[in-house]
Structure 1
């Protein structure tokens, strides 16, 4: 009986496992493998040494990393509070009759292609025929924040639905007990609801971190992979693209590109490990 159950589990999980191994694990291991070579010659860590010690390469890597950090800080500080407010509004009962409509409406941008979103926003903010007469994507000070807000707009529906599900799963007897004690709706929200959904907020934060440090598509849709004015929109994803495939007169270097991708992977891995080792553990301990 146990063997039959194990066979059934293996049968049903094998398609997903095969897909994961072929399109996630194998490319990752191949990228790490390529990063140790240079023109079919094993060079060990020399590609990584070049990335971190060469003046030009290290400067571009540092700037790209800092831009990813800026991207993440702006996205997290805008997306999470906005999604939380929208989820709270949808669960407040004030829009109960149209909850499904508003939830669907807010989620629609997430279903759109990044290319379509980039094209539409490029038309909207174009200094000649758009709604603003300032080159938001042409100035170093505004290029990255503008792209970040576009990306936040597109993917706002995901954390909103996540938080909405977390809020409606809170037991009603807890809210009713607080109301009997005379707690206001605002006090209930900040003192009861937010602490109860803190683990979900943490998960959204780390997913945002992973998404931001893998960011490439929206910037490519808007700038075509270009680093932007004064490299203002150059993040780790676009740096990898130009290093691997080349840009302009510079020929691509697949081995250095693979080394760059490996660095990105370990940055994400380190950030995720730190989160689960510290923040998530404390959140779970505080709820015991």
Structure 2
């Protein structure tokens, strides 16, 4: 026979469990606006581009079904085929250069601020401000700073006697892409700095103290204790930087125009898509849609592969 006290406790426990649960209807109501916006601005355009890429177009009039004809056209027709390979190479160099600068400078700043917390909030804010500004505005500002006629950078170089260093930075093929990489890294270095800073704050002090007691130097402690624990942060930064570098358009457009600077030295896939869609022939919609799907598959596939490889390295 169940005691009376037990009979009163059970309903109370049941009520507490039910109170801790959230009704599925409320969950759906809160998620619906986000899913609606996601579907309207991401899923629908993606499916539309996928559909358009299988048809030929006469201006804005849909023509006959072309299958993979548009894909074959953009990959084999000169000069578009050569422009795709050149733009892809620039995207790869852009990603590698940005990663090298962002990771190195961002990690260095994070370590300095972690060791010297005085003024930490101020410097975090200052280094994070550039990526709050539109890349178009950043690009136009830097194009003025780098102007060969009145730009203050060349004026300063001439003023200190370095006339040979003063040059049209965005007007020479040899310097256009490196300048683009430096400007992009300058704008986004605050992101890796904050991510690395958060990761450093999560490193247990006991591990560092144990390494110090074993006689490890500060440098050895960093590379043997801290850095392996920062691999999840490195993975996040790598994937996000890859997606950003292969989606780049606005900064390149502001610095080099729709043609990608002198001799196409800064031409990237985003600019190539823009020219194909708005400056192409009568079948611009079909070809640009096919190009957009190729770019999407490339970014999505490589991002997934990078995430899996980096996660496997975290485990090992």
Which of the five TM-score ranges fits, normalised by the shorter chain? Answer: over 0.9
Runs of 4 or more, structure 1, over 6 Å off, are none
2 CA distance for matches of 1:120 and 1:227? 17
Shift of 1:19: 1.1
Identify which of 104, 122, 145 aligns with 1:124: 145
Identify which of 209, 220, 224 aligns with 1:187: 220
Partner of 1:17: 35
2 CA distance for matches of 1:22 and 1:53? 33
What does the per-residue CA deviation read over 1:4-56, in whole Å, with 9 as the maximum and x for residues that have no partner? 53222212211111111111111111111111111212111000001111131
- Structure 1 gaps of 5+ residues are none
Of residues 259-268 and 274-283 in structure 1, the stretch that sits farther from structure 2 once superposed is 274-283
Counterpart secondary structure, 1:271: helix
2 CA distance for matches of 1:51 and 1:252? 11
Whether 2:277 is the aligned partner of 1:244: answer yes
Cα 1:120–1:194 shift into 2, 3 Å: same
- Structure 2 gaps of 5+ residues are 1-17, 155-165
What does the per-residue CA deviation read over 1:253-284, in whole Å, with 9 as the maximum and x for residues that have no partner? 1211111111110110121122133332232x
What does the per-residue CA deviation read over 1:203-229, in whole Å, with 9 as the maximum and x for residues that have no partner? 211111111000001011122322221
TM-score, normalization: structure 1?
Answer: 0.93
Would you say the 8 A contact 1:245–1:252 is kept in 2? no
1 CA distance for matches of 2:147 and 2:184? 17
Note the aligned Cα RMSD (angstroms): 1.7
Partner of 1:101: 122
Counterpart secondary structure, 1:91: helix
Would you say the 8 A contact 1:243–1:252 is kept in 2? no
Aligned residues: 281
Cα 1:122–1:275 shift into 2, 3 Å: same
Shift of 1:113: 1.9
Partner of 1:234: 267
Identify which of 215, 235, 251 aligns with 1:218: 251
2 CA distance for matches of 1:240 and 1:125? 27
Shift of 1:251: 6.8
Shift of 1:105: 0.8
Matches within 5 A, 1:8-47: 8-39=26-57, 40=62, 41-47=64-70
2 CA distance for matches of 1:116 and 1:197? 33
TM-score, normalization: structure 2?
Answer: 0.85
Shift of 1:162: 0.8
Counterpart secondary structure, 1:103: helix
2 CA distance for matches of 1:221 and 1:251? 27
Identify which of 175, 180, 205 aligns with 1:172: 205
